[in-house]
Amino acid sequence: MMQRVIGGCGFLSSLSKRKGRVPLRLFATSGSSRFHSLVGGLWQSSNENTLLVKPKMPPCDFSPQPYESYPYEQVLKIRQRNLSASLITYYKKPLLIHQGHMQWLFDSEGRRYLDLFGGIVTISVGQCHPKVMVAAQKQLGRLWHTTNIHLHPSLHEYAVKLTALFPEPLKVLYLTNSGSEANDLAMLMARCYTQSFDIINLRGGYHGSSPYTLGLTAVGLYKYAIANSFGCHATICPDVYRGIWGGSHCRDSPVQTTRKCCCSPDCCEAKDRYIEQLKEMLNTCVPRRIAGFIAESIQGLGGVVQYPKEFLKEAYQLIRARGGVCIADEVQTGFARTGSHFWGFQSHDIIPDIVTMAKGIANGFPMAAVVTSKEISDSLNHAMHFNTFGGNPVACAIGSAVLDVIEEDGLQRNSEAVGTYMLLELAKLQDKFNIIGDVRGKGLMIGVEMVTDQESRKPLPPEEVNLIWEDCKEMGVVIGKGGLYGQVFRIKPPMCITVEDVDFAIAVFSAALTRQMERRAAAN
């Protein structure tokens, strides 16, 4: 089996030397007497009538309140009758979440789950974090809402605090309610400032599902059969695992792809080839002057895709040479999630012209932002642009508390240390299970790409991915999914997660993978 290149030094390097764990032997009927150190008892899968060994959860001293709303079956009926069918739910038996505490979720029956998806990467500092709750309650008791046609202190206090985290000239803030709204506004700014129209994005990128941002979102699952991409041009995604080019020295991650690479350490052939593809698009598909370029620092919904080092830096140079501005979508990578830096773009050694952010900005409260230069911001002055709820007092108070908690709880350091530990533990599972094709990411933004086998890199069929996913849920771990084929497990937990939580998650994931390999063997 091919070996991956694992980087890191000091404390992070020492994590990679920890003793690997033996995966669980799941089938109780097989007569196996091997038990993992985290065994917590037997459970019955909802997928099959088989008793299985369940890893033991780390302790939690929080007790949820009694559930007092509609019964589960009635909730399902209301969902079918009164809510749009486009609002999908996860799992064959959807979770009825009743309460949350830090990295834990509790369902209506009191069962506890380790949340490795953070409400789709929105819970940054922890469910119902005490300091954030106090800030929200205090502001609710003082002033719920007034638009920014009036002055109110929480908006101005937050503006000073947030913009202090950006380099010059990124010092002007505009607040909205969602990432889609933020990216809508970034597109408008780019076009007004440059007096040009065309914007380049990357295939696999997700930037929202509003009618405007659908043009930037290059994931087929989100595309309706209506005109939505006028002026937006999706270029090739520089994916070093699944793309045309890539190798074992390409990305900024503790774990590298197993693809062989003949590049020297100071030269990346894959980066050069993907840049040539961008040049070809600029020379053939767009006017000589363009409005801009948008990219996530690490693709989120697309499957935690990391680009070759230096790719974004050279891409920015090409875009600016055409008169365009560069937009960094930090909706998922911002607010310390990648660990090494507070903003994902800092890992690429670039300074964007416009930065958008949402999700973790207010720990799940509806809030988003655009930060740019005064020069670009002033391009909106030719007409009125207004957002009724953007920058409301409650959102600003919560956003301010989130910034305080990230600093006071050391969550950026925790993201780097615990995230690297988890990446390295997952890499060990890749050596044991041929259906794990790639482990990648940075900090607590992690992707595990599932394949039929490591040699072909063919995506694992959705039905097999779903079986693993369901088994993880049954054992108490909630994981996200993504990738262009639904083949990537997305792990983006609250940044308060601990090493003990990771050990439990790894044991559960190993158990689910072992069970899937048993199913495969039985089918053959």
* Judgement on whether residues 187 and 308 belong to the same structural domain of the protein: yes
For 422-450, b/e burial (b = at least 16 CB within 10 A) is bbbbbbbbbebbebbbbbbbbbbbbbbbb
Does residue 301 register a pLDDT over 50? yes
CA-to-CA distance for 115 and 216, rounded, in angstroms? 29
Overall domain count for the chain: 2
Does residue 321 register a pLDDT over 50? yes
**23 falls within a domain:** no
**501 falls within a domain:** yes
* Judgement on whether residues 104 and 243 belong to the same structural domain of the protein: no
* Judgement on whether residues 317 and 334 belong to the same structural domain of the protein: yes
* Judgement on whether residues 399 and 463 belong to the same structural domain of the protein: no
Does residue 327 register a pLDDT over 90? yes
Can you give the pLDDT at residue 30? 30
Where residue 305 sits, what CATH number does that domain have? 3.40.640.10
Residues in Cβ contact with 344 at an 8 Å cutoff, skipping those fewer than 6 apart: 296, 297, 298, 328, 330, 333, 334, 337, 338
Can you give the pLDDT at residue 368? 98
Mean pLDDT of the chain: 90
Query: Which of 365, 387, 409 is the last residue before a domain boundary?
Result: 409
* Judgement on whether residues 214 and 280 belong to the same structural domain of the protein: yes
* Judgement on whether residues 203 and 244 belong to the same structural domain of the protein: yes
For residue 67, give the amino acid letter: Y
Cβ proximity of 26 and 55 under 8 Å: no
* Judgement on whether residues 109 and 194 belong to the same structural domain of the protein: no
Can you give the pLDDT at residue 263? 75
Can you give the pLDDT at residue 319? 98
Task: Give the residue numbers spanning the domain of 107.
Answer: 72-128+417-523
* Judgement on whether residues 315 and 176 belong to the same structural domain of the protein: yes
As a whole number, mean pLDDT of residues 337-361 equals 98
Does residue 417 register a pLDDT over 90? yes
* Judgement on whether residues 322 and 430 belong to the same structural domain of the protein: no
Can you give the pLDDT at residue 18? 37
CA-to-CA distance for 110 and 87, rounded, in angstroms? 25
CA distances in angstroms from 9 to 6, 167, 252, 420, 445, listed in the order given:
10, 28, 14, 11, 20
The first and second tokens of residue 14, run together, are 């020492």
Query: Which of 393, 409, 425 is the last residue before a domain boundary?
Result: 409
Query: Which of 369, 385, 409 is the last residue before a domain boundary?
Result: 409
**33 falls within a domain:** no
As a whole number, mean pLDDT of residues 380-390 equals 92
Can you give the pLDDT at residue 52? 61
* Judgement on whether residues 513 and 371 belong to the same structural domain of the protein: no
**120 falls within a domain:** yes
pLDDT above 90 coverage of the chain, percent:
84
Can you give the pLDDT at residue 261? 80
**283 falls within a domain:** yes
Give 199-238 pLDDT, tens digit per residue. Answer: 999 999 999 999 999 999 999 999 999 888 899 999 999 9
Q: Which residue has the tokens 């207010």?
A: 362
Give 9-49 pLDDT, tens digit per residue. Answer: 433 334 443 333 333 333 333 323 222 333 455 555 555 55
**Of 20, 15, 59, 18, which Cα lies nearest the Cα of 36?**
20
Where residue 124 sits, what CATH number does that domain have? 3.90.1150.10
Kindly state the DSSP code that residue 4 receives in the 8-state scheme. Answer: P
Higher pLDDT, 175 or 43: 175
Q: Is 464 left (phi over 0), alpha (psi -120 to 50) or beta?
A: alpha
**155 falls within a domain:** yes
For 141-159, b/e burial (b = at least 16 CB within 10 A) is eeeeeeebeeebebbeebb
As a whole number, mean pLDDT of residues 245-264 equals 88
Q: Which residue has the tokens 């007004």?
A: 192
* Judgement on whether residues 184 and 281 belong to the same structural domain of the protein: yes
**337 falls within a domain:** yes
Question: Cα angle at 203 between 372 and 7, to 5 degrees?
Answer: 80
**pLDDT-based confidence at 339, cuts 50/70/90?**
very high
* Judgement on whether residues 123 and 134 belong to the same structural domain of the protein: no
**30 falls within a domain:** no
Cβ proximity of 333 and 344 under 8 Å: yes
Question: Cα angle at 369 between 363 and 374, to 5 degrees?
Answer: 150
